[in-house]
Amino acid sequence: MITTDYVWPNKVALIVEDDTSSLMLLEAILGKTGISIFVVDNGEKAVDFVLQGNPVDIVLMDIKLKGISGLEATKLIKKINPKIPIIAQTACAVAGDMERCLDAGCNAYIPKPISTKVLLDTIDYYMKEDATQELLKMHIYNN
């Protein structure tokens, strides 16, 4: 795995994922970066996590979730804190998904299966202090 250039020891990632295999992959990718990881398995818990004032530097949001969708959770989180970057991820990528994710407030979109390099590059972009998150949106494809 490519992690030598990606080190975020003072940052916090919230992973919103209900699929065990996808979660294990994300934890394996992020595990060597030093980032603190919190995991919830649905949109309601993600919104509650942010509402409780927990520090969150980035959210990795699965779109297909039980209960409220990842898109609805994104809208609610952005109302609470519009500066939190949210990276949408979905295994059921279909035409229009990226646009729906960006319209909901996601800052980036990565279809599954997730490329380690694309994921780390995307997170790194948002971990930089000079990233203009309100003005820029990344359009990431796993080609």
- Structural domain boundaries enclosing 71: 12-127
**Residue 103: inside a domain, yes or no?**
yes
Which among 140, 90, 136 is positioned nearest to 118, based on CA atoms? 140
**129 — phi, psi (to 5°)?**
-65, -25
| Domain CATH code at residue 38 | 3.40.50.2300
Q: Does a structural domain hold residue 77?
A: yes
Q: Is the pLDDT of residue 137 over 50?
A: no
pLDDT higher than 60, residue 3: no
How many independent structural domains does the chain possess? Answer: 1
* Residue 140 counted as domain residue: no
* Any domain includes 33: yes
pLDDT tens digit sequence for 83-106: 999 999 987 656 678 888 999 999
Considering the domain boundaries, does residue 79 fall inside one? yes
59 in a structural domain:
yes
CA–CA distance, 63 with 140 (Å, rounded to integer): 15
141, part of any domain: no
Q: Are strands 58-62 and 108-111 parallel, antiparallel or unpaired?
A: unpaired
User: Is the alpha carbon torsion for 95, 99, 105, 111 positive or negative?
Assistant: positive
Q: What percent of the chain has pLDDT over 90?
A: 73
Distance CA 85, CA 78 (A): 9
